[in-house]
Amino acid sequence: MPEISKSSVVGAAPEGANDTRSAARAVREMFTSIAPRYDLLNHVLSFNVDRLWWRGAARAFRHILSRPDARILDLCCGTGDMTFALQRQAAKDSLQILGADFSHAMLARAAAKSAPATGNKAIPRWIEADALNLPFPDGHFDLVTSAFGFRNLADYDSGLREILRVLRADGECGILDFGEPSGAMGMLYRFYFKQVLPRVGTLISGVRGPYAYLPASVERFPPPEEMLSRMKGAGFVEATWTPYTFGIAGLYRGKK
């Protein structure tokens, strides 16, 4: 079977999915199945480095988070860790922040974590929504983020266009997601990601599919230069990528 060029990839493609609708359904089912152990596995499998990535991404947008009237959307929020990282960087309690995901089980976990995670800050609101068809008017948000969720969309370009649609003029987006480092670090990373992580993830969660899907989804995801090209094609300007931890993860930024 010929290798698929990443530039021709539409979006996520879980095993057995043959179109965008079935891909979206498979992704929702996978994340629902691992919701009870999702946080534990994230921290264990990343050696807690994921906390630094969320914090670093949130700090990159302090100039927006410091505005008391800013509207923030954290897309594909899962159990809310990126949402909470944004909330902690906010200077005012009046900041309006929403966490959106299409997995009800993930949102239930996020809501349960809300009070202790935010301390005396305003608690984020949670909404069940499809990232490719958001229930918000045009030009509604000052910032839209997505941490380790955008890669799972069934259509990357449609996702970018939908983010652009709901952003205000001069609004910004931040997409934090995995990459594939090069050199010796890349070799170690690929061995861990393809051989160790699926086994440990399956052992702890009791579910095989999601942790076999994870390395395949990262390998399928466009590399930085391709992702930046897609962002520009969707209409973003000042598109940049900042690598984290030797390029294991990275933050894509763009402005409307």
pLDDT band of 140, cuts 50, 70, 90: very high
Q: Does the structure show a pLDDT above 90 at 32? A: no
More confident residue, 201 or 8: 201
What value does the mean pLDDT of the chain take?
A: 88
Which backbone phi and psi does 128 adopt, to 5 degrees? -85, 115
Q: Does the structure show a pLDDT above 80 at 177? A: yes
Predicted local confidence at residue 16, as pLDDT: 73
Predicted local confidence at residue 123, as pLDDT: 79
Predicted local confidence at residue 5, as pLDDT: 57
Question: What mean pLDDT is predicted for residues 237-251?
Answer: 95
Specify the DSSP class assigned to residue 2.
Answer: P
Question: What mean pLDDT is predicted for residues 11-37?
Answer: 83
Question: What mean pLDDT is predicted for residues 97-120?
Answer: 85
First vs last Cα of the chain: how many Å apart? Answer: 39
Q: CA nearest 57: which of 162, 175, 148?
A: 175
- The C-alpha atoms of residue 250 and residue 241 are separated, in whole angstroms, by 7
pLDDT band of 254, cuts 50, 70, 90: very high
Predicted local confidence at residue 117, as pLDDT: 58
Question: What mean pLDDT is predicted for residues 18-22?
Answer: 85
Question: Could you tell me if 83 and 122 are in contact, meaning their C-beta atoms sit under 8 angstroms apart?
Answer: no
Specify the DSSP class assigned to residue 6.
Answer: G
Q: Which residues pair with 145 in a beta bridge?
A: 74, 174
Specify the DSSP class assigned to residue 97.
Answer: E
- The C-alpha atoms of residue 175 and residue 230 are separated, in whole angstroms, by 13
Predicted local confidence at residue 4, as pLDDT: 46
DSSP H helical ranges for 35-80: 38-45, 49-59, 62-65
Predicted local confidence at residue 93, as pLDDT: 66
pLDDT (tens digit per residue) in 55-68? 999 999 999 999 98
Q: Which residue has the tokens 């988070």?
A: 65
Retrieve residue 62's tokens: 């302090």
Which backbone phi and psi does 131 adopt, to 5 degrees? -65, -20
Question: What mean pLDDT is predicted for residues 14-25?
Answer: 83
Retrieve residue 214's tokens: 């994870």
Predicted local confidence at residue 119, as pLDDT: 57
Question: What mean pLDDT is predicted for residues 46-56?
Answer: 89
pLDDT band of 182, cuts 50, 70, 90: confident
DSSP 3-state of 238? strand
Q: Does the structure show a pLDDT above 90 at 185? A: no
Question: What mean pLDDT is predicted for residues 13-39?
Answer: 82
More confident residue, 237 or 197: 237
